[in-house]
């Protein structure tokens, strides 16, 4: 059975809407944006109060309870800025599929709890500025990613909105309004000025300028006359055109564009899957290497050096 325009378009709309409902990209963007800016503001005093940063930049700032101030600021960043990664870590562990979130969540947790322990016990070297900047970078990356996904989803929505839902079918000298989904190859349709062309075809009667800007990027309306090809979704601007339908359903230009956009999104998902597998491998390697290193240096009486 041949796929029809509106069914194909509506299917894309439903999938896109369900995807947005499930993941709520707009909320994700605002969440990562808010957490990023709060964390970056708190990171500034952490950097200024960190001994290593002061040595690198050649200045000195000493405050009462400086280490405890660093601990408090880092605690806020860890639990507020790091929440998305900690939730992701728990989710991946529950699914027994460690990935990127597990790697990030483990890294920030080890850095935070070890650093907190050094402040409480006075033993070892803290990693507060490393913890803060890692969370900042990860939040920024996920914020950008969420914006990218939302932009692609909105682009897909705008594409499917282009298609009209009804067409003026010319049959036996009469004009009958029918759903675009009922159009067949070889049908002749009438397109009035200001209306959208219902599907890809060729002009059989009339002459008019057609606006294809949303489809091809052509800035000016293009003159179409008998024999010229037209694209479904383009806008007839001047005069009445009669068009013979040549393509329907997934064969149309717009459907092919939608297909390419979806393929790009799926390609991104496959890339993300590969990244998660690599992250899982790095997680196991880092966990094993870190544990062995700590044990070996502890045996030699230098566990702080292992950290």
Q: pLDDT tens, 101-159?
A: 888 898 899 899 999 999 998 887 888 999 999 999 989 988 887 787 777 667 667 76
Same-domain pairing of 122 and 231: no
Same-domain pairing of 40 and 128: yes
254: in domain: no
Sheet strand arrangement including 201-205:
174-179, 166-171, 188-191, 241-245, 201-205, 229-230
Same-domain pairing of 59 and 147: yes
233: in domain: yes
Same-domain pairing of 80 and 184: no
250-261: average pLDDT: 80
Same-domain pairing of 154 and 24: yes
Segment 290-294 long-range contacts (CB within 8 Å, at least 24 positions apart): 290/110
262: in domain: no
**How many domains is the chain partitioned into structurally?**
2
By residue range, what is the domain housing residue 123?
5-160+268-306
Whether the Cβ atoms of residue 133 and residue 39 lie closer than 8 Å to each other: no
278: in domain: yes
Same-domain pairing of 154 and 219: no
Report d(CA 102, CA 247) in Å as an integer.
Answer: 48
Report d(CA 126, CA 53) in Å as an integer.
Answer: 13
Final residue in a domain of this structure, among 220, 248, 276: 248
263: in domain: no
Phi, psi of 214 (to 5 degrees): -70, -15
Same-domain pairing of 58 and 193: no
- Which pLDDT band holds residue 278 (cuts at 50, 70, 90)? low
Identify the bridge partners of residue 148 per DSSP, sorted by sequence position. Answer: none
Same-domain pairing of 178 and 156: no
Domain with 211 in it: what CATH number?
2.70.150.10
Same-domain pairing of 274 and 138: yes
150: in domain: yes
- Which pLDDT band holds residue 252 (cuts at 50, 70, 90)? confident
Q: Provide the whole-model pTM.
A: 0.60
pLDDT above 70 (res 196): yes
Same-domain pairing of 145 and 239: no
């Amino acid at each position: 059975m041949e796929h029809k325009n509106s069914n194909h378009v509506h299917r894309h709309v439903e999938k896109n809407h369900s995807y947005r409902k499930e993941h709520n990209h707009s909320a994700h963007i605002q969440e990562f944006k808010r957490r990023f800016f709060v964390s970056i503001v708190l990171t500034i005093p952490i950097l200024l109060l960190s001994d290593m940063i002061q040595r690198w930049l050649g200045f000195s700032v000493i405050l009462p309870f400086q280490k405890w101030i660093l601990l408090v600021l880092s605690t806020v960043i860890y639990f507020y800025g790091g929440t998305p990664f900690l939730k992701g870590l728990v989710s991946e562990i529950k699914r027994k599929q460690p990935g990127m979130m597990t790697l990030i969540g483990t890294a920030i947790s080890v850095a935070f709890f070890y650093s907190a322990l050094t402040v409480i016990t006075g033993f070892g070297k803290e990693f507060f500025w490393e913890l803060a900047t890692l969370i900042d970078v990860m939040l920024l990356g996920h914020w950008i990613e969420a914006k990218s996904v939302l932009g692609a989803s909105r682009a897909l929505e705008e594409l499917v909105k282009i298609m009209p839902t009804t067409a003026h079918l010319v049959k036996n000298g009469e004009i009958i309004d029918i759903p675009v989904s009922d159009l067949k190859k070889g049908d002749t349709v009438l397109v009035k000025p200001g209306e959208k062309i219902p599907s890809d075809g060729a002009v059989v009667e009339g002459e008019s300028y057609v606006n294809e800007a949303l489809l091809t990027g052509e800035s000016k309306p293009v003159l179409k006359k008998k024999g010229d090809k037209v694209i479904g979704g383009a806008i007839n601007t001047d005069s009445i055109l009669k068009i013979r339908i040549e393509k329907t359903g997934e064969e149309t230009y717009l459907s092919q564009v939608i297909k390419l956009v979806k393929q790009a999104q799926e390609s991104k998902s496959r890339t993300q899957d590969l990244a998660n597998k690599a992250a899982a491998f790095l997680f196991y390697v880092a966990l094993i290497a870190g544990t062995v290193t700590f044990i070996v240096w502890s045996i030699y009486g230098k566990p702080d050096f292992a950290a």
